[in-house]
Structure 1
Amino acid sequence: MFRILLIMLGLSLTQPALAETRVPQSQSEISLGFAPLVKAAAPAVVNIYAKIVTQGYDSPFAGDPFFRDFFKGFGTPRQRVQNSLGSGVILSSDGIVVSNYHVVAEATEIRVATNDRKEYDAKVVLADKAADLAILQLQGAQDLPHLTLRNSDRVEVGELVLAIGNPFGVGQTVSSGIVSGLARTGGASGGGLGYFIQTDAPINPGNSGGALIDVNGDLIGINSRILSRSGGSNGIGFAIPANLVAQFVKQAQAGEQSFQRPWAGMAGQPVDSDLAHSLGLDLPEGIVISDLHPDSPFAKAGFRVGDVITQVDGLPVNSAPEMVFRMTVTGIGETAKFTRVRDGQPEEIAVRMIPAPNKPAAEPITLGDKTVLPGLSVARINPAVITRVDLPLSAEGVVITDPGRYGARAGLRPGDVIVSINDVAISRTGDVKKALTDPGRWLKMDLLRHGQQVSLRFRL
């Protein structure tokens, strides 16, 4: 039946040897439309209802833009219940479901309704805010219809696609369009960072987490974001590629508690026309390395500052999000081939994907009540901490991971690197605890914040 649909649409996509390019030959072919495709794929798309219970405070200063920050956390405690509605896609017969992180984030209760009106309790087994993806497991599910993941690297601009989801909570809805762009990395509203498939198939609130499928019924992406000034679809939607979804499913089934990304240990910038000329390149393409951590797998593979990376496994990369995406879908423990250009000469070099090393030991501590800043959390800087807190590759010493209630009021922020306390140099987390246990009548903290020196002084 799918073959008939391909013939009717005159397409040759994933299986050019099997598809015949011609116009519809009969009224039955014309009237067929997408009905067989929807009938096969729609049962694998579900509605997700998430309940979120938050703790708030009734404060007389809640509406005051000045005093509300000073009196945050004060007032009468009150629980608030928020409900979230979205879509999801079943990927296995035993109830593995993928959706967006922002659909189920911090949910205390999740119910999933299938196309045939059955309902299941669900729990989140793996979620990642940056990728805006979450993997759910349906409780007691078996023999469920599910979709097959397609290799999203083979998706081409111009392919016909269908978006299936539950926009505005009106019930399952299907919209059609084409793939209108690839390697989109910005300009959209909503959650998630990185690399997207762009489509003009209408996507609206509630479609989040739904399926973007091709004319074979295979999943090529998870609908995630829209570009909109009004909050509704303006014909530009973004889907997370299926290859990244596959990596999430793999890690979830392996029992990972948080999503693990390979570590590059490098900084770089896209090559523009001026930079291409200075580097002796014929075209402005790739990423030029501007900084390398000594423990970076690229440094160990022979890369150096000034090298240009143009491809990963034969696929072009022209921005940092593209390269991060390519490394992520390769997976930790695997090897990818990077095309390096040095002195105008390209060379393919294999680099093994590794997690950010947690060496030297981070030595994380949280200060107790006997210090002047209880609740302050700090860690010794290493590659894992640099990645988690988003610090420069050259950062050293001790960083604030959580300023705590009192530290935040004092002006401390996550990511501040502590240089000294009362003019005593800080190199280990124990130095912070010692300096803040009995600092005297005055407290002076010298910090590095976004590369700028900051000095804070308090009277105790």
Structure 2
Amino acid sequence: MYNRVSEARVIVSSAGRCGEVNAKGVECKRFHTYPASGYIINSEGIKVTNYHVVNGYVTKHNNTSRVALVVMLKDGTTFSVKEVLIADKVNDLAVIKIEPKEVKLSALPVATKDAEIGDPVYIVSHPKKYFYAFSSGMVTDKFSEPKIGGYRNTMAISADYAAGSSGAAIIDQYGNVIGTVSYTKTLQHSDDANKTQMVLKAKIPSSSFLKLINEGNMKK
């Protein structure tokens, strides 16, 4: 399971020279990356990640320090992103394309039916630059949540992930993609805002992704 999934898992990152000037007037000339996750769904170079990952590259706040959006395979082979095919802010999904040339890519199949509560799940992602970390768990909840522009269906899982896992595929026991990591939310005790009770780990189900592909929408 791990070998199969990790070969189709990629690192997606914007990159560029910082250029920020500190309080002493010294300019940072380091080259920075902001790694997140993504996965391959087509051997011709089609990949899925989060809307907020791609948006982090194109927003006005980053137009001087982030000059490239790149994809890195597990073996270190790196490609520049040639095109953003679909961007859906409501469902926090983006489909991007690279040109793999002579490189053979491994792709993951997308499940046509959503998982149910209690179903086992697996994830390979890049939490806080711990690249290709493996975790497992189960579907713990299914709900709908309001977003600007509409509602979206969401699932919660118990498998661990953290910042850097955005855009990773959630996999069922057969190796099919059943969802895409979106966010985490810390749930705290109502009487003590500093007391964490649990962390909600949310993903976008595969049905939302397939609907987006079938409709071919570009939502900004």
Q: TM-score range by the shorter chain?
A: 0.7 to 0.9
Structure 2 counterpart of 1:139, from 91, 94, 99: 99
**Distance between the aligned counterparts of 1:127 and 1:49, measured in 2?**
16
Q: Is 1:96–2:46 an aligned residue pair?
A: yes
User: Following superposition of structure 1 onto structure 2, how do residues 276-425 of structure 1 map, counting pairs within 5 Å?
Assistant: none
Q: Deviations over 1:301-330 (max 9, x none)?
A: xxxxxxxxxxxxxxxxxxxxxxxxxxxxxx
**Distance between the aligned counterparts of 1:148 and 1:164, measured in 2?**
15
Is the contact made by 1:251 and 1:259 (CA closer than 8 Å) also made in structure 2?
A: no
**Distance between the aligned counterparts of 2:175 and 2:144, measured in 1?**
23
**Distance between the aligned counterparts of 2:157 and 2:2, measured in 1?**
18
Is the contact made by 1:90 and 1:145 (CA closer than 8 Å) also made in structure 2?
A: yes
Is the contact made by 1:42 and 1:164 (CA closer than 8 Å) also made in structure 2?
A: yes
Q: Is 1:163–2:123 an aligned residue pair?
A: yes
**SS, match of residue 42 in structure 2:** coil
Provide the residue aligned with 2:73 in structure 1.
Answer: 114
Provide the residue aligned with 2:167 in structure 1.
Answer: 209
How far off is 1:92 after superposition? 0.5
Unaligned runs of 5+ in 1: 1-36, 57-80, 187-191, 261-460
Is the contact made by 2:89 and 2:219 (CA closer than 8 Å) also made in structure 1?
A: no
Is the contact made by 1:84 and 1:104 (CA closer than 8 Å) also made in structure 2?
A: no
**Distance between the aligned counterparts of 1:132 and 1:88, measured in 2?**
13
**Distance between the aligned counterparts of 1:234 and 1:90, measured in 2?**
31
Is the contact made by 1:184 and 1:198 (CA closer than 8 Å) also made in structure 2?
A: no
How far off is 1:151 after superposition? 2.1
How far off is 1:140 after superposition? 3.0
Cα distance, 1:184–1:200 mapped onto 2, change above 3 Å: farther
Is the contact made by 2:153 and 2:208 (CA closer than 8 Å) also made in structure 1?
A: no
Provide the residue aligned with 1:198 in structure 2.
Answer: 156
**Distance between the aligned counterparts of 2:14 and 2:155, measured in 1?**
26
**Distance between the aligned counterparts of 1:83 and 1:104, measured in 2?**
13
How far off is 1:52 after superposition? 7.0
Aligned-partner residue type, residue 179 of structure 2: G
Is the contact made by 1:95 and 1:144 (CA closer than 8 Å) also made in structure 2?
A: yes
Count residues in correspondence.
191
Structure 2 counterpart of 1:151, from 95, 109, 112: 112
Cα distance, 1:132–1:53 mapped onto 2, change above 3 Å: farther
TM superposition score normalised by structure 2: 0.75
How far off is 1:227 after superposition? 1.5
Cα distance, 1:248–1:143 mapped onto 2, change above 3 Å: farther
**Distance between the aligned counterparts of 2:166 and 2:43, measured in 1?**
22
How far off is 1:158 after superposition? 0.6
Is the contact made by 1:201 and 1:236 (CA closer than 8 Å) also made in structure 2?
A: no
**Distance between the aligned counterparts of 2:71 and 2:197, measured in 1?**
25
Cα distance, 1:54–1:195 mapped onto 2, change above 3 Å: farther
**Distance between the aligned counterparts of 2:39 and 2:128, measured in 1?**
17
Aligned-partner residue type, residue 13 of structure 2: Y
**Distance between the aligned counterparts of 2:205 and 2:197, measured in 1?**
20
Unaligned runs of 5+ in 2: 21-30, 59-65, 188-193
**Distance between the aligned counterparts of 2:197 and 2:130, measured in 1?**
15
Greater relative contact order (Cα 8 A, min sep 6): structure 1 or 2?
2
Identity %: 26
Structure 1 counterpart of 2:209, from 240, 245, 248: 245
**Which protein has the larger Cα radius of gyration, Structure 1 or Structure 2?**
1
More strand by share: 2
More helix by share: 1
**Distance between the aligned counterparts of 1:87 and 1:140, measured in 2?**
18
Cα distance, 1:184–1:176 mapped onto 2, change above 3 Å: farther
**Distance between the aligned counterparts of 2:112 and 2:100, measured in 1?**
30
Q: Is 1:39–2:3 an aligned residue pair?
A: yes
Structure 1 counterpart of 2:140, from 177, 180, 195: 180
